[in-house]
Structure 1
């Protein structure tokens, strides 16, 4: 039995990632530079980073596993209707292949690796 999931990015998840990136960015700045920053600077930086994550950031699993792909398609319709999303895609559990099409073998278990692949 296969499992199907929806992978993609939503605006709320992109914003959370941007806020975490802002905290790391603040830590890298000197005290003097941090003192000069305004809340408007922070809001603008987070807005730009949110747009970046929506357009190019790594997609993440948005749904729980479904038994059939039509349930994942229903989830995609619902997600698009409720908020801003990007790159929503149904993925299924399947054996992973290398660039030549040969199965990838785990070095630890010596078995074929299973992962999420596009449907």
Structure 2
């Protein structure tokens, strides 16, 4: 069962998200009437870069890879991301039972423990 994954943000992911969410048009007022104007490719690319910069400056993190079987593979993935550059907040999380405020494991209606991504503590040795 794969239970370890890397969470964080990379410049590549931020650019991909910005390309999906940046519109290719803008609305302008011409003599009090709203008119839709297409952006030139250079204007759109500048808007994409600006949005990607905003994503990188934010605090949001996402799952960057498919789950791994062991934490050392996740550490190797983090090393590759850091060598490539343009990343922040890279952490390893493990799929583990969720606990409530009293230390009890939360259960589903069927009695199985609820699983969620929890921070994984590992030795850096």
Question: Into which bin does the TM-score normalised by the smaller protein fall?
Answer: 0.7 to 0.9
Give the whole-Å Cα distance in 2 for the aligned partners of 1:38 and 1:62. 31
Change over 3 Å in CA distance of 1:78–1:29 after alignment to 2: same
Deviation at 1:9, TM superposition (A): 1.5
Q: CA deviation at 1:111?
A: 3.1
**What TM-score does the superposition give when structure 2 sets the normalisation length?**
0.71
Cα distance in 1 between the residues matched to 2:103 and 2:115: 14
| 1:77–1:38 distance in 2 versus 1, CA, 3 Å | same
Residues 32-78 of structure 1 show CA distances to partners (whole Å, capped at 9, x for unaligned) of: 2425x444432332112101222326322222322322221111011
Q: Report the more deviating stretch, 50-59 or 83-92.
A: 50-59
Contact 1:55 1:86 in 2 (8 A): no
- Alpha-carbon spacing, 1:89–1:75, altered in 2? closer, same or farther (3 Å): same
TM-score normalised according to structure 1 size: 0.74
Stretches of structure 1 lacking an aligned partner (at least 5 in a row): none
Q: Aligned pair 1:97/2:99, yes or no?
A: yes
Structure 2: segments with no counterpart, 5+ residues: 29-33, 121-125
Q: From the two aligned structures, give the one with the greater strand fraction.
A: 2
- Corresponding pairs, count: 115
Distance 1:5 1:18, change over 3 A: same
Structure with more helix by fraction? 1
Alignment of 1:74 onto 2:49: no
